[in-house]
């Protein structure tokens, strides 16, 4: 399948693995790239730029296919040394970066000088248009369904993607709620050039996270995510658990007066506890509504092959058939 995204990034399938804190290590990124998609190492999970350099080197040992790095701009007073991270990314030969969190405008000259293609992940058409305006090469449009930070507009992909398609000139992928061949075909039908997946890739054998995390995802349904930190305008969609219930209770008690310090215990330092130790109930960790569609833990390769086979079958068989015999014949002989 060729789309503007496969062309732009030189990949076989239009499937990207979004940056994921404490999940997006070299092993997962390489597995996704080896399967024909685009894997991304999550930059800030590496505590220093030097460690990121080492993680990139590890991925190079595991794949000779293109892979990239996610750089998330966090709402923090203690900003990581982003320019140094970008320098390490560039020096280690990375040519694809996914930015997220807020506009990468300030760092675009650094990316462009290094010949890096930037795909910016954002949750609204206005932010996508801004990304296009400041020179991003592509956009990842994250709908309300998504795991992680859906923004504050609450527009699901059924509406957001066609609006993005009408407004944007650069290629874009659909992010949030993507799980299988049906999602990929739907995303393409709505105007996207591919998909970005987070939660689905966590429940794979190649994801370097504790088995408890994968089990929690297989057991959860579409009713089991919650939005937290909305009063702080830093909304995050997470898997519900006792730690998350505690956050929601504090949010109800404090109302508009809430400060990040009030929920510090349930949000700070949670990822290593969850992903490494398997303590899945301690607090907020991102998970999309798509968890309702996750029922197994395949390898990344099995997952990607399955998505592509299913997409092809839907397009040539089910959709083709519904158009009648003439079109079906044309598709079969094409």
Ligand X SMILES: Cc1cc2nc3c(=O)[nH]c(=O)nc-3n(C[C@H](O)[C@H](O)[C@H](O)COP(=O)(O)O)c2cc1C
Residues that bind ligand X in the complex, under the rule CB under 6 A: 18-21, 23, 42, 70, 72, 100, 121, 142, 145-148, 175-178, 196-200, 202, 285-288, 290
Is residue 100 within 8 A of residue 119, CB to CB? The reply is no
- CB of residue 285 to ligand X, shortest distance in Å: 6
Pairing of strands 172-175, 117-122: unpaired
Of 145 and 320, nearer to ligand X (C-beta) is 145
Give bridge partners of residue 42 from the DSSP assignment.
70
Instruction: Determine the distance from the C-alpha atom of residue 197 to the mean position of all C-alpha atoms in its chain, rounded to a whole number.
Output: 5
Q: How many CB atoms lie within 10 A of CB 252?
A: 10
Residue at shortest CB range from ligand X: 198
φ, ψ of residue 288 to 5 degrees: the values are -90, 165
**Residues ≥6 apart with Cβ < 8 Å to 102:** 73, 75
- The DSSP call for residue 261 is G
For the bound state, the minimum distance from the C-beta of residue 33 to ligand X, rounded and expressed in Å, comes to: 16
**Which has the closest alpha carbon to 175: 305, 5, 302, 1?**
5
Give min distance, CB of 284 to ligand X, in A: 10
Nearer to ligand X, 35 or 202 (CB): 202
Supply the minimum distance, in Å, between the C-beta of residue 317 and ligand X. 26
- Nearest residue to 289 (alpha-carbon basis) of 145, 157, 84, 172: 145
Query: Please, what is the minimum distance in Å from the beta carbon of residue 112 to ligand X?
Result: 21
Q: How far is the CB of 144 from ligand X (least distance, A)?
A: 10
Would you give the DSSP letter of residue 315? I
322, two tokens:
């519904």
DSSP state of 280: T
């Amino acid at each position: 399948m060729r789309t503007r995204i496969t062309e732009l990034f030189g990949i076989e399938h239009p499937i990207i693995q979004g940056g994921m804190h404490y999940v997006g290590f070299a092993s997962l990124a390489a597995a996704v790239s080896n399967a024909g998609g685009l894997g991304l190492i999550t930059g800030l999970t590496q505590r220093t730029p030097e460690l990121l350099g080492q993680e990139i080197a590890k991925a190079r040992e595991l794949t000779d296919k293109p892979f990239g790095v996610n750089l998330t701009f966090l709402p923090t007073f203690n900003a990581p040394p982003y320019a140094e991270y970008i320098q390490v990314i560039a020096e280690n030969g990375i040519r694809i970066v996914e930015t997220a969190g807020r506009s990468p405008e300030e760092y675009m000259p650094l990316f462009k000088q290094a010949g890096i293609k930037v795909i910016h992940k954002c949750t609204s058409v206005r932010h996508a248009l801004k990304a296009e305006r400041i020179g991003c090469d592509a956009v990842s449009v994250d709908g309300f369904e998504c795991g992680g930070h859906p923004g504050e507009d609450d527009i699901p992909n059924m509406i957001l993607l066609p609006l993005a398609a009408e407004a944007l000139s650069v290629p874009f992928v659909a992010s949030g709620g993507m799980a299988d061949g049906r999602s990929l075909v739907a995303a393409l039908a709505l105007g996207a050039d591919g998909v970005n997946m987070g939660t689905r890739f966590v429940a794979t054998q190649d994801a370097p996270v504790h088995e408890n995390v994968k089990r929690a995802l297989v057991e959860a349904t579409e009713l089991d995510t919650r939005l937290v930190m909305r009063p702080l305008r830093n909304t995050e969609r997470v898997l519900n658990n006792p730690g998350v219930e505690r956050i929601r209770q504090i949010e109800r008690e404090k109302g508009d007066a809430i400060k990040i310090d009030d929920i510090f215990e349930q949000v700070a330092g949670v990822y290593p506890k969850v992903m490494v130790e398997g303590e899945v109930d301690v607090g907020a960790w991102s998970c999309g509504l798509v968890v309702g569609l996750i029922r197994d833990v395949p390898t990344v390769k099995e997952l990607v092959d399955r998505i592509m086979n299913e997409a092809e079958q839907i397009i040539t068989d089910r959709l083709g058939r519904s158009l009648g015999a003439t079109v079906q014949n044309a598709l079969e002989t094409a």
